[in-house]
Chain A
């Protein structure tokens, strides 16, 4: 059962634990929860993946449709990311049109994938200026136990890597081909808990932390996207340190993503 508020006692407890480099669930401050990726469970989708990060569960489905390109990029395909904070995932998620929270989440995930050029947009052009593939990334959160940002980016990357361009269905060619993947963006999200910075926060930790910082790296260790969120702040040194920690810690997620490629 989800709590709307965590008591001050719990807040104090989590902050003092973090100061000693410990967490309420026994992890270190820069340690990810257990991650598990499954792919290809949805046959109506062009690609699909389910990611479990601890008790957070996200299902991602890729759909590809044919459309007209934007005027300023007539030779490039398009990509749209949306997240559905399904009400069954969390008592605090309300039914209805997407709220700010869900829009920020979609946009941060979108930027990580887009700016890394994970998919080759020029390769998605069918007829210059007339017809391109439009890639839709739909993320369904089934269970929210914190760190939706990393879980969603991972689910999107896994589902894209599993995607097939539906040439036959749309009469483009007589063979379906795999969606070409250029690189592997991974996002790492940190939270400010008291005076400490922790990686991969659970929902309990998220409810008492004051600020959030997400950074996405490609497999060469170059930064691709970042976002600071919530109303607290980080010091300059904390941000620099977090970026370094991200590069050192994202291996766990990278390995999991590599594991599904076989």
Chain B
């Protein structure tokens, strides 16, 4: 967060990309786009583009990571070298490693891991174009891919961020707002119970603003949740 900036990111309650403060960017979700993966999803969120693929449950490698009483979720978040303006060096860096780790833990809460002792469920997320908010996009796509793979889950987890720009709390930061804004709060919840499975914050928020941001991010998650269910309905028909 760059903190204070002279840039005017909100004018008369309208953001630079024409959105209102509580409006999401456009989201498009398609389930079942890859053939080899047991479950997959392609998601466009604003200009973000993400593929997610799921394999498993299968025998866990390496062996020492096996748990005798449950499965583990091995999530892996990566960004393509061409997904950003300056070429990103391929492979896992510290940021991707952290995101992979917290996403794995978020999923271990909803996936019925106790049904598959010693197994692993592999969740791979490939960001092919990045414009702020890719961890939320990747997590959301991975949820749909897990459902597409038919992995038993208590619920899907939508994820969405709220933040602060020009002292206004807004939903779903875009690239400029992420670069020049004052705070960013990515959140993932279990819609049926309201439990929080992922939360990060960087920047500066007053206690009141934090409350507002939580409300806004939660409503964003619920809106996404509908779109996720629609995507699955579209692939499989019937009532989701």
Which residues of A are at the interface with B, using a C-beta cutoff of 8 A? 1-2, 41-46, 48, 55, 57, 59, 61-63, 65, 82, 84, 86-91, 95, 97, 136, 138, 140, 142-145, 169
Contacts and interface: CB of A to CB of B under 8 A. Distances in A.
A108 B53 CA distance: 27
Contacts of B35: 55, 143, 145
A43 B129 contact: yes
Given A84-B90, A88-B52, A89-B53, A2 B129 contact: no
Given A42-B83, A82-B81, A138-B90, A88 B37 contact: yes
> What secondary structure prevails in chain B residues at the interface with A?
mixed
Given A61-B128, A136-B82, 20 more contacts: A44-B129, A55-B35, A55-B36, A59-B80, A61-B82, A63-B81, A65-B86, A65-B87, A84-B80, A86-B51, A87-B124, A88-B55, A88-B126, A91-B58, A95-B76, A136-B87, A138-B82, A138-B90, A140-B126, A142-B51
A42 B129 contact: yes
B99 interface: no
A177 B181 CA distance: 34
Contacts of A90: 36
A44 B126 contact: no
A97 B91 contact: yes
A107 to B, nearest CB: 16
A138 B76 CA distance: 19
A136 B84 CA distance: 13
A84 B92 CA distance: 12
Contact of B80 (A2, A61, A169): A61
Given A2-B36, A143-B35, A45 B82 contact: yes
Contacts of A55: 35-36
A87 B130 contact: no
A174 B37 CA distance: 45
Given A2-B36, A42-B128, A142-B34, A136 B58 contact: no
A72 to B, nearest CB: 24
Contacts, number: 100
Contacts of B58: 91
Given A87-B124, A91-B58, A143-B36, A63 B87 contact: yes
13 contacts: A44-B129, A61-B83, A82-B81, A84-B80, A86-B78, A88-B37, A88-B124, A136-B81, A136-B82, A138-B90, A140-B126, A140-B128, A143-B34
B36 A44 contact: no
Nearest to B52: A88
- Residue from B36, B80, B87, B90 whose CB has the most chain A CB atoms within 10 Å: B36
A88 B40 contact: yes
Interface string B19-41: 00000000000000011111010
The 4 A-B residue pairs whose C-beta atoms are closest, nearest first, are A61-B82, A88-B53, A88-B124, A45-B82
B200 interface: no
A196 B49 CA distance: 42
B234 interface: no
B174 to A, nearest CB: 14
Contact of B76 (A46, A87, A140): A87
Contacts of B78: 84, 86
A142 B42 CA distance: 11
A68 B140 CA distance: 41
A75 B49 CA distance: 37
Nearest to B92: A95
Contacts of A84: 78, 80, 90
Nearest to B55: A91
B158 to A, nearest CB: 20
Contact of B49 (A42, A88, A138): A42
A241 to B, nearest CB: 32
A89 B92 CA distance: 17
Contact of A61 (B54, B81, B86): B81
Contact of A44 (B52, B55, B83): B83
A57 B88 CA distance: 22
